[in-house]
Amino acid sequence: MISMTVLYYVAALLFFAVAFFSCKDKRYSSALFWFSYGLIFLLGDFMPPALVGALVVLMALVAGFGGVKGGSYQILDLQQRLDSVKRLGNRLFIPALMIPVLTVFSALVLVHIQGDGWSLLDPKNATLSALGLAAFFAVLAALYFTQDKPQQAFKESSRLIEAIGWAFLLPQLLATLGLLFNQAGVGETVSQLTSMYLNLNHPLLAVACYAIGMALFTVIMGNAFAAFPVITAGIGIPLLVLQHGGDPAIMAAIGMFCGYCGTLLTPMAANFNIVPAALLELPDKNAVIKAQAPTALLLLGVNIILMYLLML
């Protein structure tokens, strides 16, 4: 079965590769950072929580003192890359397009391949298992078209991960932070404040408050997964579901989409908005955000309408 554990092991292998190339380049602090991260993915289920916490603190110290630095990877010069693009043509897009197509196909079709006590994909995480399977075949396709060796995939992956740096961990860390906020009672505080200062008896106002709250809290946190438990516990469940009788499934789906609108608007989502500008060597570090802002605001408005029409 292609379970989350298998995907964790693959991720660990990739991070160990990054650590290897960092160590080979004599960037030992970066190697320590990525090796620790890979170790958590590989042995996290077997390690004491205190040891995992110590590794996380170690990684934070290394990153905080500027120890995570990019390496010097040999890449083809401009003319060689242009010649390669000309030779491959539109086949360059096939591996990238395979990922969404195979993910959808696997999540809808391959998920039903199962027998007595076994299944091809993890039933509890079918979409993520499908994504991992699709990525694997996309890498094989890329190696076939380019005629490169498998180690080239590790080199390119390591180069991109190191170009992103510590920001690569932001989605996971911010999602965890959202859960901590929820456990600390931030959601209840948000619920009390909205009930005290806003009149949300009209369903449309309640929907707008929830949707805009998801977007704004995502702007602050930098990740919709961090905003979701807080805003849903504070506004979504008590107001939209319990008070107005809304469908929780529709609320959750469109609510996350509202959060993604906030992701397009914030530099806190550094791995999505700041890092691409740096990789593309854009003179304005906020150029990506400025280009995305009109789409984000338009989608947020559409989401509010859809949630009001479909959920209530």
Average pLDDT, the chain: 85
**Would you call 115 helix, strand, or coil by DSSP?**
strand
Whether residue 38 contacts residue 12, with contact meaning beta carbons closer than 8 Å, is answered with: yes
The pLDDT value recorded for residue 199 is: 66
pLDDT at residue 261, rounded to an integer: 94
**One-letter amino acid for residue 306 of the chain:** L
State the Cα–Cα distance between residues 67 and 34, nearest whole angstrom. 11
pLDDT tens digits along 251-306 = 999 999 999 999 999 988 877 887 788 777 788 888 999 999 999 999 999 999 99
Tens-place pLDDT, residues 171-201:
777 767 767 776 777 767 777 777 676 666 7
Helix then strand then coil, % of the chain, to nearest 5: 80, 0, 20
Q: How many CA atoms lie within 13 A of 30 on its CB side?
A: 24
pLDDT in the model for residue 75: 65
Q: What is the mean pLDDT of residues 4-30?
A: 90
| Strands (E) located in the chain | 114-115, 118-119
Domain ranges for the chain: 4-64, 78-147, 185-311
C-alpha span between 16 and 51 (Å, rounded): 19
pLDDT for the residue numbered 258: 95
Contact between residue 262 and residue 224 where contact means Cβ atoms under 8 Å apart: yes
pLDDT band at 73 (very low <50, low <70, confident <90, very high): low
Window from 21-35, 218-232, 236-250, 256-270 with minimum mean pLDDT: 218-232
